[in-house]
Structure 1
Amino acid sequence: MTKGAVLIVGCGDVGSRLAAQLMDADWKVYGLRRSVDRLPKGVIGVPADLFNAQCPAQWPTEQIDYVVYSVAATEHDESGYQAAYVQALTHTLSWLKQHNQHPKHLLFVSSSGVYVQQNGAWVDETSPAEATRYSGRIMLDAEQLALNSGIPASVVRLTGIYGPGREWLLGQVRKGYRVERDPPLYGNRIHADDAGGLLAFLLEAHRQGKKLDDCYIGVDNEPAPLADVVDWLRGQLGVTQWSDEASVRRAGSKRCSNARARALGWEPRYPSYREGYAAILAGQA
């Protein structure tokens, strides 16, 4: 007997990792995406074009207990974000209504990009989200759409996701990536397995009767200066040269807290970049 039926809308990298963890825990999982042949084995595929208002022909007919909206924009401009996070979510909510489906809870996967704090300031779920760029503004609009959908909902603001296939920083370090040290440029990250794991944890917590807050930040236990991360990776990779290019100064410097999720009982499998990147380099994650 399954614990319940979960529909993962946008079942890509994080969604597929979530699906695998849910199936291991005896959940029934539907995965909605354009190319269902790329779904993990055991996921019930729902081929769909989220940008088309017409309901997918293979939309599940049974009651859906939980929905996880984990879509990634295919076009990284304002119209692309609007289509992926507002228009497509509107379609999804409409399809649920058409089938008289009333999920117990909706998880909307958002981004810590809605925060614009600087200078290493600590950020939690109560901090002001005052995004000025279109990406953050549209994400905030989509969050409100989810929270006001009539379905009990939580937004999960994930930080910088890394993992197999998300190894940009490793490639840069191998090239001698240089980062300014003063003032420190703080970064926040979460391994892709932990991103999926946090979502699975929240679903199970709700199933067990725990009350979920309307927002959680998905981040590991140790926000760290990017220079420290680069130094550690250089040591692991045996890189000794530095790039001739000027030091890189990326925008943004804040420290995100996972205290709310941990207070509910969640612990990341990879508590810091060290464990996560070590597993990647060992071919274990």
Structure 2
Amino acid sequence: MAQVVIVGCGDVGSRLAAQLQQVGHTVTGVRRSAVPLPAGVQALQADVGVAACPADWPAQVDYLVYAVAAGAGGEAAYQAAYVEGLRNVLGWLAQRGQQLKRLLFVSSTGVYGQSDGQWVDETSPSEPAGYSGRILLAAEQLALESGQPASWLRLAGIYGPRRGYLLKQAQSGARAEPLQFTNRIHADDAANLLATLIAQAEQGAALEVGYLGVDDEPAPLDEVLAWLRAELGIAAGTGELAKRRAGSKRCSNQRARALGWQPQYPSYREGYRVLLAQNAL
């Protein structure tokens, strides 16, 4: 079994840690704050902003999942979390003379700038309009050029328990522009895709440099909001979204599916129906 370190062991990272432990892997979760992790996960409190390797860094690391989030908004916070933080963690590995089986960098489909509803996959041009996408692309490249075998995973909008942004928008009666396509993935499916990548690498599969983590059904945002309103029994209003969405694209998960991965929640309907039934949003 492998030794896995998850840097930025938040919601998705904790779900991944639990899945990995179930199949016998040893997992260390790295967080800046002393937040409890799932039972059995070795907790390591460390800051990726520090260049020196933590004293209690594991003696062996087979897989490293870099899944941090910018602590605050703004370009400087993104640069610090994704590029400088990753550079420091790569330095930690170098300081300990550690060579990974695989580095998995968790990125975002926000690196795509497509806005006409076209389909995109891992080979499509990545030309983001904003700083967040540009910084994530730079971090992906840093991972690929690190000297460690690496892959990126571009996740779409993650939803799940306590991730109730769209529900709040639906409750407010907000409407979106027609045919403004969005993509999403349930937090459990995001974690399972990461676990699948590790399992495939453990079995000797040659992983691609990148994968998209999305469900089977990109959908117009207004359609998703209308469905949620119907489930909640709320009439449509005339309000605008709290955050205006940029871009409009349909992301394909065919490369991830070719690995044998299947989303437990293939569309927003299955995922949100469970969350609504559990009152978990």
Q: Give me the TM-score of the superposition, normalised by structure 2.
A: 0.96
Superposition pairs of residues 67-216 of structure 1, within 5 angstroms = 67-181=64-178, 184-216=179-211
Q: Paired residue for 1:7?
A: 5
Task: Verify the 8 A CA contact 1:47 1:58 in the aligned structure 2.
Answer: no
- Alignment equivalent of 1:283, drawn from 274, 278, 281: 278
| SS of alignment partner, residue 38 of structure 1 | coil
Change (3 A) 1:134 1:247: closer
Q: Distance in 2 between matches of 1:174 and 1:4?
A: 45
Q: How far did 1:190 drift?
A: 0.3
- Alignment equivalent of 2:215, drawn from 220, 238, 241: 220
Aligned alpha-carbon RMSD (Å): 1.4
Alignment of 1:21 onto 2:41: no
What is the letter of the counterpart of residue 236 of structure 1?
Answer: E
Q: Distance in 1 between matches of 2:240 and 2:136?
A: 33
Change (3 A) 1:103 1:246: closer
Aligned length: 279
Q: How far did 1:261 drift?
A: 0.5
| SS of alignment partner, residue 37 of structure 1 | coil
What is the letter of the counterpart of residue 40 of structure 1?
Answer: P
Which consecutive residues of structure 2, in runs of 5 or more, have no partner in the other structure? none
What is the letter of the counterpart of residue 248 of structure 2?
Answer: S
Which consecutive residues of structure 1, in runs of 5 or more, have no partner in the other structure? none
Percent identity between matched residues is: 59
Task: Verify the 8 A CA contact 2:174 2:240 in the aligned structure 1.
Answer: no
Q: How far did 1:132 drift?
A: 2.7
What is the letter of the counterpart of residue 131 of structure 1?
Answer: P
Change (3 A) 1:246 1:66: closer
What is the letter of the counterpart of residue 245 of structure 1?
Answer: G
Runs of 4+ in 1 over 6 A off after TM superposition: none
Q: How far did 1:54 drift?
A: 2.0
Q: How far did 1:284 drift?
A: 8.2
Q: Distance in 2 between matches of 1:246 and 1:211?
A: 45
Q: How far did 1:244 drift?
A: 4.2
Q: Distance in 2 between matches of 1:173 and 1:207?
A: 42
Task: Verify the 8 A CA contact 1:180 1:247 in the aligned structure 2.
Answer: no
Task: Verify the 8 A CA contact 2:150 2:209 in the aligned structure 1.
Answer: yes
Q: Give me the TM-score of the superposition, normalised by structure 1.
A: 0.94
- Alignment equivalent of 2:250, drawn from 252, 255, 259: 255
**Greater mean deviation of Cα atoms: 145-154 or 128-137:** 128-137
Q: Distance in 2 between matches of 1:95 and 1:179?
A: 45
Alignment of 1:269 onto 2:264: yes
